[in-house]
Structure 1
Amino acid sequence: MQRRALPLVCASLLAARLQPAAAAPAVLRVLAWPGYAEPEVVQAFEQQHGAHVELTLIDTDEALWQKLSQREGADFDVLALNTVELRRAQQAGLLRALEPARIPALGRQLPRFQRRSSIPGLELKQGGRTELYGVPYTYAEMGLIYDRRRLPEAPTSINVLWEPRWRGKVLAYNGGSHNFTLAAQTLGLPAPFRLQAGDWPRAVERLIALRRNVLGFYSQPEESVRLFQRHGAALMFANYGTQQLQLLRQAGANVGYAIPREGALAWLDCWALTRQCRETALAHAWIDHVLGDQASQLLVQRQGLANTVSESIGSPGAAKLVWLEPVEDVARRETLWARIRSGDRAERVLSP
């Protein structure tokens, strides 16, 4: 019996069903801060790798930690976090080790960032070998911003914030963790991130003295610019470094920037892989991509931040940067700072 031929339309439909469906593009889930993955950077990556980037932005360490710890990081492949949070995530088992051979751009980084053992938190020794967990991406040193009209010469010491002649003309950051480290630094304590029992009274007294000298405290960069201009500040401890400097200059302020001789506290944000990363090859490719010229230059131009592949104008040099480390007791620092800000005397600040 002769088999009848299928109509052309039916045959075409059948053939289409038998063809394998086109594979959907891989999705890379990125968790980052604003400005770390600009639209054109994402677009270039997607075009080069035929993938889709699903970008989630955060604006505080608390928000970052909440998203990372939820479902043990299963919602993300790659993220940007500072060295303190990097170590916290390591200890919680939320990260996986990187494969440096998959990131050729590591060789483009400045020498001080290639000396990874000198930056706490980037590497971890396990089973007799050293594994890399974080790739430096951007940083900012916490220097001093000053009004050039009142200070013709750049201040040379962090102690200028305490000088009586600037009483009521100083802006400081509203954060207990950093401020206790700053106080310890001015006191010459050997371990500013790990205060000992006998260090607390001296640090508290030092911060009470700072409170008496300041006109106000700020939390965000934009807020600091408004306060600086509205109240005619002469000096500011720049928790956000050159980012604040750029904002002030854009607002028309005649300000300078200085790194004190004691060294500047500095935060360093790094790229890392989550333990449950689904797209390992793509995640390594992302880190390699953002170490390129496009993303690195946009960090400087748009965010006023430094990158790790080229020297920024006026870069302080590695010897004067003190990378942030985990502190001995965040909760205690913040509790005592709240008491200091409220105007309590030293004995009341330190009372149980």
Structure 2
Amino acid sequence: MDTKSHAPTSGAKTMSAAKSFTRRTLLKASAASAVALAAGPFLMRRSWAQSGELKIFSWAGYISDEMLADFESKTGIRAIYTPYGDQGEALNQLRATGGAGFDLVQPTVDRVPEFVAEQVLQPLDESKVNWDGCIQSAITGSVDRGGVIDGKRYLAPSDWGTEAIAYDMNQAPLEYGTASYGSLWNPDYAGKVTLRGHSGLVGIGLWMEADGKLPHPMLDSFKSEEVMRANYDAILETAIANKPSVATMWANENEAQAAFRTNGCIIGQTWDGTAASLRKEGLPIRYIAPKEGALAWLEGFALTAGAENVEQAYEWINWYYTPEVGAMYTAHSGYNTTSKGAEQFLSEEARQFFADAYPGDALDKLWWWPIQESWFVAARNEYQDRYLSA
């Protein structure tokens, strides 16, 4: 398929493409076209004439000084990076300014509909994006997950990752196939567990569903508030019963790392980047997909409604869609880039982390976050608050 032909498809073809979006399809598509990459002429065609600056609002720990320097050296554009720890925080700030103050933001695809509903994003001009530099499965796979709304694309996929089980290999050894979200509640680990409120509840829900203890399928929680509350009432009861095992709750990357580094935790439900960073420090922290499936998410660059540096924003996206930059991003953040051909520039350490985290059929069992509509986020936060205050 022509990588520039990325308008929403329909029927079974689209659903099949979306459901099959995994790291394996990414690597396959990437390897097939790495040699033929032709992003150069497209990249920065207008940048030197544009120059100026770019204001990027993105997750903490995602963009390095090396990346900012590389972008400026290649485009003449000075990028200003402002980090946030949670995209609810990002949405609230953009809502307060009507989408002004930043040019690009980096939401997860499932939350894009909420950002659009709050009128803080504008559609992308797809003719200005070098889609040849992005892996096709990411472009297609983002269509039905929230990246395209009413026929308009709002997200240029940038990276994907998971939330699964981080563990101290010496004190809480786990193996693929038996490792579970329920492993966190092993009495041997009492008082040494960390997790995030709202996603920790999802992990408990998947564990309960696998054991036949959830009233309805977990995915149905995202379709009906009545079903969601029936499931979450059961989940909350189990979560509160096991809460004494939790040493600390995390809400952002720094807190998740600190749980292991300084707060005595030996196991937890964290992002893959958390474990990757701790492992690079030499700590005995490993990461494994549980048998219920790792929670998987896709992120991307979105143009804010009040963007003042629009052309510079497209220059950033096209600069990012080069293999060297994609690899630079993965090396720094620990997350998987969608830039085509990047794997040829990744370190052996990064490749080993991936192999350890997703052995066997782990990639086929990824649990992709469904679209989270406003009603779900509000109810989800209500249950999270009840859990945290219990």
- How many Å apart are 1:123 and its aligned residue? 0.7
Q: Indicate which of 246, 253, 266 corresponds to 2:276.
A: 246
Partner of 1:158: 181
Q: Indicate which of 139, 150, 166 corresponds to 1:145.
A: 166
Q: Is the contact between residue 139 and residue 157 of structure 2 (CA under 8 Å) also seen in structure 1?
A: no
The residue matched to 1:191 in structure 2 has which SS?
A: helix
Deviations 1:310-336 (A, max 9, x none): 456326436514135316444444344
2:269 counterpart letter in structure 1: F
- Change in 2 beyond 3 A, CA 1:43/1:184: same
Partner of 2:106: 80
- Tell me the TM-score normalised to structure 1 length: 0.75
Structure 1 CA distance for aligned equivalents of residues 174 and 69 of structure 2: 45
Q: Is the counterpart of residue 91 in structure 1 residue 117 in structure 2? A: yes
- How many Å apart are 1:117 and its aligned residue? 4.6
1:323 counterpart letter in structure 2: W
Partner of 1:113: 138
Q: Indicate which of 220, 223, 241 corresponds to 2:255.
A: 223
Q: Is the counterpart of residue 325 in structure 1 residue 355 in structure 2? A: no
Identity %: 21
- Change in 2 beyond 3 A, CA 1:274/1:168: closer
* 5+ residue gaps, structure 1: 1-22, 344-352
Structure 2 CA distance for aligned equivalents of residues 249 and 119 of structure 1: 34
Structure 2 CA distance for aligned equivalents of residues 300 and 28 of structure 1: 21
Structure 2 CA distance for aligned equivalents of residues 257 and 24 of structure 1: 43
Structure 2 CA distance for aligned equivalents of residues 62 and 132 of structure 1: 21
Structure 1 CA distance for aligned equivalents of residues 259 and 81 of structure 2: 33
How many corresponding residue pairs?
Answer: 312
2:90 counterpart letter in structure 1: L
- How many Å apart are 1:287 and its aligned residue? 0.7
Q: Is the counterpart of residue 181 in structure 1 residue 202 in structure 2? A: yes
Structure 2 CA distance for aligned equivalents of residues 34 and 200 of structure 1: 29
- Change in 2 beyond 3 A, CA 1:336/1:68: closer
Partner of 2:245: 213
The residue matched to 1:257 in structure 2 has which SS?
A: strand
Partner of 2:329: 299
The residue matched to 2:68 in structure 1 has which SS?
A: helix
Larger Rg computed on CA atoms: 1
- Change in 2 beyond 3 A, CA 1:299/1:186: same
- How many Å apart are 1:243 and its aligned residue? 1.9
Structure 1 CA distance for aligned equivalents of residues 322 and 50 of structure 2: 27
Structure 1 CA distance for aligned equivalents of residues 364 and 125 of structure 2: 25
- How many Å apart are 1:202 and its aligned residue? 1.2
- How many Å apart are 1:141 and its aligned residue? 0.5
Q: Indicate which of 312, 332, 343 corresponds to 1:282.
A: 312
- Change in 2 beyond 3 A, CA 1:319/1:24: closer
- Change in 2 beyond 3 A, CA 1:48/1:225: closer
Structure 1 CA distance for aligned equivalents of residues 263 and 89 of structure 2: 32
1:138 counterpart letter in structure 2: D
- How many Å apart are 1:183 and its aligned residue? 2.8
Deviations 1:173-209 (A, max 9, x none): 2x2x323322332232242445524323311222123
Partner of 1:53: 79
Partner of 1:122: 147
- How many Å apart are 1:110 and its aligned residue? 3.3
Q: Indicate which of 220, 236, 242 corresponds to 1:191.
A: 220
- How many Å apart are 1:67 and its aligned residue? 3.4
1:186 counterpart letter in structure 2: W
- How many Å apart are 1:99 and its aligned residue? 2.7
- Tell me the TM-score normalised to structure 2 length: 0.69
The residue matched to 1:115 in structure 2 has which SS?
A: helix
Q: Is the contact between residue 143 and residue 259 of structure 1 (CA under 8 Å) also seen in structure 2?
A: yes
Deviations 1:278-320 (A, max 9, x none): 4433322211112223432222222222212345632643651
Structure 1 CA distance for aligned equivalents of residues 263 and 62 of structure 2: 32
Partner of 1:346: none
* 5+ residue gaps, structure 2: 1-48, 210-216, 344-349
Structure with the bigger percentage of helix: 2
State the superposition RMSD in angstroms.
3.0
Q: Is the counterpart of residue 334 in structure 1 residue 359 in structure 2? A: no
Structure 2 CA distance for aligned equivalents of residues 103 and 295 of structure 1: 16
